[in-house]
Amino acid sequence: MIKNIITTVVILFPIYLFSQIPVGEWRDHFSYKKAIRLVDAGNKIYVAGEIALFSYDKSENTIEKLTKIQGYSDAEIQTIAYNKTSDALIIAYKNSNIDILKNNTVYNLSEIKRKLISTDKTIYNITFIGDIAYLSCGFGIVLIDTEKTEIKDTYFIGDNASYVKVNDVTFDGTFIYAATDHGLYFADFFNSNLADYRNWSLVPDLPENNFKYNFTEYFKGYLFANRIDTITGNDTLYCRKNNIWEIFNADIDNLRSVNAAENKIIFSERTNVKIFDTGLNLVKKLDSYVFNGFSANPKINFATLDAEENIIIADNSTGLVFEQNGQLNYAYPEGPYDNYTAKAYYINNTVITTNGNNNASGWYLPVYNVFENERWKSYHITSDTARNFFSIAVNPKNNNNFFFGSWGYGVFEFNNNEWIASYNNSNSTLQPVTGYPYGFIRIYGLTFDKNNNLWATNQGTAYPVSVKTEDNQWQSFNFNGLITNFNVEDIYVTEDNIKWVELGDNNGILAFSDNNTPLNINDDTYKKIIPTTSEGEQISTDVTAFSQDKDGSIWLGTGDGVVIYYNPENVFEDDFFADRVQLTSYGKDTTEQYLLSTDMITDIETDGANRKWIATQNSGAFLISENGREEILHFDKYNSPLISNTINDIVINGKTGEVFFLTDIGIMSYRAEAVESAETFGDVYVFPNPVRPGYVGKITITGLATDVNVKITDISGNAVYETKALGGQAIWNGVTFDGRKVNTGVYLIFCSNDDGTQTFITKLLFIN
């Protein structure tokens, strides 16, 4: 597969800027701070981040993102390599997919990814011998011809052609060497059939050559091989000169890469870089970063030298680190703190995200990210104070007052991005999991109600729901033991101030009213609900998502698809029944079926046109019509730039229509057509205006009253197009009813609601 690259420089160095994307387009919001590998390609340095590449132009000081949006085929990079003679960049992904960048074109080789073998297919390293790339794989060595952009051969070098995990390959001009999990192998490069396993054997005189070797490198008559102890992780670096093996520089440990440049060899350890000359004399050591204005500790993944012998480093937390004009610099595209995702919240054209988890599988730094004015900023407190910020709530009366539920340490309050308070078992009704200490106060959900009370779900305790009033009084609830020690999940508040709690572990959902007296539990009304149809059919005990739409209906994601309650005001009545949604259009399938009945639903969000964005655990994201009977869009990693089919959360920027998808490996967004609206017209504007020659995107009319009709005519009053706004925005692709592009001229845009009480007229200049 070949893809032409759309090259767009999206970020400037050292000041990084975003710009709003057009309707129908994607952008990534990845963290590129963790650089795992890099290559010097002359005027450009290519850097592999966790998810995608970026390049740094040395002369222009600009950064360019290289992602699926720009035409690359995959995400999550394992390693990269560059060949100067063929000007080819090879990108190997974690799933063993391969892209080759040549002449501004991406060539995809997916054979290894698709190969059906029951062993490790990971590509651990790439070594060039001429124009042929030797890929060190979990099963052997794969050769790629970069001129023909095709796989040339595969070597299975174990006994009887068995699979052997190859970690690295090098060539000394006569012999080819392979560092494997079972020792250092070699073969005569020119005088043997390398595809025949019988021509490969263990290097006979290398000490302890039946252990794991992870690096090998040839440099000016020296052959290096690094043995790693699989139990302790300790390194033993051997060097052979004149057929004698010796331990080289016993101080080298925690080795991250070995790389030979023209007249130097570079050893990068986790915290430093050591550079040796052709006589193996140490000529330079870098063990700290001193940038313009601040310093940092190295966390090195890879290091090499460019053609001018400047150090360039792929750092685990500082991105690209490079020397230029005697000064040490760093660069990476702007983004969130890291690529972990949990929950997202939208308010006032601002998106807030967290990076924690709710299963104690990782103890992440307590971080939240804010995307505002097209820029990301991150804020955190120290890891000895908290871990795993998970849920988010924003004070409706003070939009700079944030609350974060942590998975283990209670609730943390910030004002103007300064930490001002925390709430735990010492000063609130929040409690740790029974039998455990303070570090197990697990907060899943947070939300404010209509009276500005903060509600929290507190998993695994005797009283799993708590409330904090405006004057900082606390009360906890278990509703007469109905939900004691439940693994409660999210909590929601509907327009009538009823609270809804997902009970987790296939226990349905709880609805309750505090009767506007949250500190008095004696006047509460509550009901545990298992979604059931009016015919008495129990739909599912597993409730995983909740949304109240613009008509007031409640949409639940369950273990058996989406259900709707059209009369939520009757929640405490006996005849409170759910309706199942049957799709009449499910992509190209017109067979009626229940909406997402086979997918695990993780979130439901309602957009400005009352349509539903639905996130799933394994199938990406769906956009469903207002009534739920038509699938409008479906995005997954196969049919779109989306990087994963696992969506943890969705949030919509109501002002712009941009939909943010928090996947399990990073954040992406898509600018949809619908935006929030009001009953009256706001600041109506058309973009672009004028429409200049060559423009092929969509034309947006924004600031409209809710769902108005939009008619476009030429200056003589002849209608050329008509549509209905989606919320507060209408879309036109610049063509007439019969699909012809309109002529150059001025066009009038008439906007009116159904009864004519709200009208607006504006103009658009179209230039062909």
pLDDT at 4 over 70: no
Residue with tokens 């440099």: 219
What average pLDDT does range 553-566 have in this prediction? Answer: 95
* DSSP string for residues in 201-256: EE-TTSTTTTS-EEEEEEETTEEEEEEE-TTT--EEEEEEETTEEEE--TT--SEE
Burial class (CB in 10 A: 0-12, 13-18, 19+), 380: middle
In angstroms, the CA 663 to CA 660 distance is 9
763 or 10, greater pLDDT:
763
φ, ψ dihedrals at 627, nearest 5°: -95, 0
Q: What is the pLDDT of residue 11?
A: 31
Check pLDDT > 60 for residue 590: no
How sure is the predictor about 13, in pLDDT bands with cuts at 50, 70 and 90? very low
Question: Measured between alpha carbons, how far is 368 from 359 in angstroms, rounded to an integer?
Answer: 18
Other beta carbons less than 10 A from residue 287's beta carbon = 12
Element spanning 676, H or E: none
What's residue 202's pLDDT?
Answer: 97
Per-residue tokens: 259: 């790389």
Average pLDDT, the chain: 93
The first and second tokens of residue 486, run together, are: 């439940």
Neighbours of 242 (CB within 10 A): 6
Please state the rounded mean pLDDT for residues 13-18. Answer: 37
Question: Which pLDDT score is estimated for 595?
Answer: 81
Which pLDDT score is estimated for 360?
64
| Band of residue 1 on the pLDDT scale cut at 50, 70, 90 | very low
Work out the burial of residue 136: count CB atoms within 10 Å of its CB; fewer than 13 is exposed, 13-18 middle, 19 or more buried: buried
**84 sits in which H/E element:** none
pLDDT digit string, tens, across residues 371-413? 999 999 999 999 889 999 999 999 999 999 999 999 999 999 9
Query: What is the reported pLDDT for 596?
Result: 85
Domains identified in the chain and CATH numbers: 530-661 (2.130.10.10), 685-766 (2.60.40.1930)
Query: How many Cβ atoms from other residues are within 10 Å of residue 401's Cβ?
Result: 15
Bridge partner list, 213: 227
Q: What is the DSSP string of 541-593?
A: S-EEEEEE-TTS-EEEEETTEEEEES-GGGTTSTT---EE-EESBBTTB-S-E
Q: Please state, in angstroms and rounded to a whole number, the distance separating the CA atoms of residues 356 and 353.
A: 10
* Residues 105 and 5: beta-carbon distance below 8 Å: yes
Q: Which residues of 356-366 are buried (b: 16+ CB within 10 A; e: fewer)?
A: bbbeeeeebbb
The rounded distance, in Å, linking the Cα atoms of 209 and 212 is 8
* 244 DSSP β-pair partners: 241
- Both tokens of 37, joined, read 């590998």
